[in-house]
Structure 1
């Protein structure tokens, strides 16, 4: 969905940009963008092809080796780091969902952005809530410093909007079903109603195939993932009201950016007496990666479209005259589907053994120990929980047996118990130097995390069968899932590139430094990154 028509409307309704004096005053609007599953590898692969918004951001401060440093490289924990400046160990958002075996409801899975206390709620049919985020966001800190600051968050996913917006928001919207929605009882602003009307019509109508950019044609090759299913030749044609294919299309991010631009215009963000912040979660890249993989014609076509849409979005802001600063990153990286990886020189890439699951391993332990019930809960990797009804002695024995069984599997790299993880501090050294145990520690919260944590070997895709749903994913301990680009841009800044590693937890203190918001030592896990090339600094001494 292109932004040019909206850009023309906004250009007619807002004044031309004013000249910024030097040295510049603090920006009036912070724009924080997360491109879901936009790995550092994808940024490096396509950066020379970008000509729109992502090209513009390369004229700012470029940190191509950013890190979502923790082990659970999923959407919810990743987004929880971006505007809080804290690792998931402190945000409490350890994964997209976790197991609560003490709950009385039948569904023991807790979704990261649900309110499970609502009657009838399940982890798949839930009431969206911010209750599980344990720390404040940058927007909340801005409001605490000056209540006139406005906080807005929009995204393709509810968890992205919630984790970047936080607990005190003026507007928060996410795509659900066939429209952008918010918390129950909130008034629908006119711009949201207009976007829902236009986007809803587009969503309901069939969409023809998109043209393939010339630079993408070499990537068009059918890859067999089993069961007669192939990827690598899809051009985003879809029928009407197809939620799955709509989300995995360039249209999806275009609509979210249109909504963000409309809220900026109608709310006059950046034009008040205090600085404002808007967070934007562009979710389509993640759905494209899951549905088609990251190295085919589909991802190539999508990223070039997103680049153009971001260019249109920034043009809207330019025409408004707002003094704004942008931070762009991702919630995690990702890897391509193993079938194509093997064709492209990665012979160790494979799908996970379908028998490698907590339930299956727990059943074997139960048989050996003469115990009943489901002993282990979880999946093939990450957190594994143990039945709380066991006695202390039984629990110790089941954990020991579970660790041994997982560790013996040829696809498992390491297994760490809760005691091992909590015995090490969250590291403060460069993230590429962290051990697997330290990566686990940065995402471990003892109130929610499992009895032990499993790390699969590199290039093992934790999807056993690609023919029945998603073909590729993320979530591992490894750098292809941890590394993401971090880009900062503001009109007039001197561009530079820093190739050494930084972290996504550095974004919030860096933006706080830009607007002069004090952050006391220890309040955030990240550090302020100096965005001034040469003499001077954008980081106050208190940050």
Structure 2
């Protein structure tokens, strides 16, 4: 299967250029490239690392931290991306979930999307104006601009929340997939490269996509698994009808388009060639869409990661040809869990889909009937933030909370129910992130003005999708390490590689890159600099 989205990647027909083995320069790199692969768990990394031959293979020759942690409990896309280039956990960034409830929101819809401006008239949480207003802290790009105003920041992603949360408040170019092409904030001029890539995407979408060929490694993972009596996954090969935008988005074609745009902007803007250090941010989202819609263990994920490896190799080839001294960091916003129907065949008999009766709506209705309270009583889902509706009379709130705790705690799929008071009383976590208590994990994604009155943790291997269907069979978001653990990889031409198997955190990435380029961290953060010098020296300055 061939993709051809831009003149930037048309340069790549000859294949990737091998990284030269000259020692790393003593001076700071002139371009930082930060890549987030959405839902690229540490488990997927371990499963596929022996198969990587191109882009990932290059990164594996650098500094490898296979056990990075999104240490918090709300392992979703927006909170995870908010940690990568801020050095701060969600309790500090304010990004407590993809969505939260704000009963004071100036509209009928009280759900607030993490990357929107809910004050825009006529908006709602699914039809919104993208904004960075909810991110409460500066990013690495802002640190760089504070140290050198001539530094440039470019952020391109498949999702608006990835581009915004990693890019921050002062981005020179920011582009994300808008449904038919790449879009940005209203009024922003469209560079020629964006227009070319969008034209290529439109042309590509108009063509049907033939099935991808299975490698022997992927053939062994190709097996249909029934999710419902009429729907199965596991043996797909990304065949797509002409005009199928959803199929495009959940396929290797999508990441190829994102990386093509990033490579093209880096080339056209001559990033790293102006005497100042620049930052290129790339959010590859297809792995997440594949994971949600098709699971993590079938032919689809195998083909997706194989293609992503090749696309990363092409990206690095474009950057190599510029002659710029660049450094790369790659990680993920969260992990993920496979669908329980396949887990049951893979020695995981305790897996289950969540009981619909565990939802806040059902439990709230039961509480309302018992206590004689009209209205929803509780607002939320089957896990995570649960809110007591402000219409509940103040005199009855304590009784509602006590009854909610009793009912959730009695449910066999619930591990813990944590109250606002318990979480607020919890101090900073101590020790490595894999040892943190559930309260400590919850505290790191808790912001009082946005988080729930209760936080519900489901038991391990309970998938919070009660009724699966096409496009949504598996997910993430739990307190557990299959959702918290992600790889963290650093590479620079000429560096001496090493592997550190002990746990680190994604909040360590920003201060590590700041140390590499000699930029001072101007605010209080949660992360620490990781020394990327394999010898006696240090990159943490």
Query: CA–CA distance in 2 between the matches of 1:365 and 1:18?
Result: 66
CA 1:198–1:2: 2 relative to 1, 3 Å:
closer
Q: Is the 8 A contact 2:157 2:282 kept in 1?
A: yes
1:96-143 CA-partner distances (Å, limit 9, x unpaired): 000112224121110001111111001001011101100000001111
1:230-286 CA-partner distances (Å, limit 9, x unpaired): 001111111122222111100000000000000000111111232110110000000
Query: CA–CA distance in 2 between the matches of 1:94 and 1:395?
Result: 23
Q: Is the 8 A contact 1:10 1:320 kept in 2?
A: no
Q: 1:175 aligns with which of 150, 174, 177?
A: 177
Query: CA–CA distance in 2 between the matches of 1:150 and 1:499?
Result: 33
Matched, 1:118 2:126: no
After TM superposition, give the deviation of residue 11 of structure 1 in Å.
11
Q: 2:96 aligns with which of 94, 97, 118?
A: 94
After TM superposition, give the deviation of residue 428 of structure 1 in Å.
4.2
Q: Which residue of 2 aligns with 1:491?
A: 493
Q: Secondary structure at the match of 2:518?
A: coil
Structure 2: where are the runs of 5+ without partners? Answer: none
Query: CA–CA distance in 1 between the matches of 2:188 and 2:427?
Result: 42
Q: Which residue of 2 aligns with 1:366?
A: 368
Q: Secondary structure at the match of 1:271?
A: coil
Q: Which residue of 1 aligns with 2:157?
A: 155
Q: Which residue of 2 aligns with 1:451?
A: 453
After TM superposition, give the deviation of residue 505 of structure 1 in Å.
0.2
Q: Which residue of 1 aligns with 2:302?
A: 300
Q: Is the 8 A contact 1:381 1:453 kept in 2?
A: yes
Q: How does 1:112-511 map to 2 (within 5 A)?
A: 112-467=114-469, 469-511=471-513
Structure 1: where are the runs of 5+ without partners? Answer: none
Query: Normalised by the size of structure 2, how large is the TM-score?
Result: 0.96
Q: Secondary structure at the match of 1:343?
A: coil
Query: CA–CA distance in 2 between the matches of 1:391 and 1:44?
Result: 52
Matched, 1:526 2:527: yes
Q: Is the 8 A contact 2:82 2:93 kept in 1?
A: yes
Q: Is the 8 A contact 1:208 1:237 kept in 2?
A: yes
Query: CA–CA distance in 2 between the matches of 1:52 and 1:453?
Result: 42
Q: Is the 8 A contact 1:3 1:313 kept in 2?
A: no
Q: Is the 8 A contact 1:2 1:312 kept in 2?
A: no
- Count of residue pairs brought into register by the alignment: 537
Query: CA–CA distance in 1 between the matches of 2:25 and 2:256?
Result: 34
Q: Which residue of 2 aligns with 1:73?
A: 75
Query: Normalised by the size of structure 1, how large is the TM-score?
Result: 0.96
1:388-407 CA-partner distances (Å, limit 9, x unpaired): 13333322211111111111
After TM superposition, give the deviation of residue 426 of structure 1 in Å.
2.7
Query: CA–CA distance in 2 between the matches of 1:28 and 1:10?
Result: 23
Query: CA–CA distance in 2 between the matches of 1:157 and 1:421?
Result: 31
Query: CA–CA distance in 1 between the matches of 2:187 and 2:430?
Result: 43
Query: CA–CA distance in 2 between the matches of 1:304 and 1:172?
Result: 27
Q: Is the 8 A contact 2:20 2:494 kept in 1?
A: no
1:431-479 CA-partner distances (Å, limit 9, x unpaired): 0110111100000000100001000000000001123540000000000
Q: Secondary structure at the match of 1:219?
A: coil
Q: Which residue of 2 aligns with 1:50?
A: 52
Q: Secondary structure at the match of 1:76?
A: helix
After TM superposition, give the deviation of residue 20 of structure 1 in Å.
6.8
Query: CA–CA distance in 2 between the matches of 1:152 and 1:145?
Result: 17
Matched, 1:537 2:510: no
Query: RMSD of the alignment, in Å?
Result: 1.9
1:145-165 CA-partner distances (Å, limit 9, x unpaired): 111000110000000000000
